[in-house]
Amino acid sequence: MSGILYVTGTPIGNLSDLSPRAVETLESVDFIAAEDTRVTLKLLNHFGIKKPMVSYFEHNKRERGEIICARIEQGENCAIVTDAGMPCISDPGEDLVKLCEERGIKTVVIPGPSAVISALAVSGLSTGRFTFEGFLSVNKKSRTDHLKSLANEHRTMIFYEAPHK
């Protein structure tokens, strides 16, 4: 019998924002797929949760996705978490969910904070209709072309920006 992938939202900044349901899920799964195990370890330690973790991020998602799915197919339950917010939104977790769908693995969402919705809520801009564009390209021409394509957009627009090094 196949296990389940739990797409589990985590706090954006305040650890107290982790929902009781998310805590229960993290306590009950067999292992956790984490974008950054060091960040997730701080969260788990705060709640006294001890679970094995598998690193799952942009540069290892193909190889680790296969490993994670194989474990779930063998009956283990897994929670996927990101560093902050909802996994799979402009996040490599999207690929894991697609892989699970292709393989017939059940996925369940454990809702949590979302940076997109939080930013929109406090923006003072119109919230009735909006568009989320995710991360813009770091390539100057691609970025400019993308922004030009949105020049006539009248809805509130939200973009992610990668941290500068």
The domain spanning residue 57 has which CATH number?
Answer: 3.40.1010.10
Q: Which two tokens stand for residue 156?
A: 């509130």
Mean pLDDT of 68-95: 94
Host domain of residue 11: 4-110
Does the pLDDT of residue 159 top 90, yes or no? no
Q: Which residues contact 157 (CB under 8 A, 6 or more apart)?
A: 130, 131, 132, 133, 150
Residues 23 and 110: beta-carbon distance below 8 Å: no
CA 18 to centroid of chain Cα atoms: 14
Considering the chain, what is the average pLDDT of its residues? 93
The domain spanning residue 141 has which CATH number?
Answer: 3.30.950.10
What is the total count of domains within the chain? 2
Q: Which two tokens stand for residue 88?
A: 């799979």
CA 82 to centroid of chain Cα atoms: 5
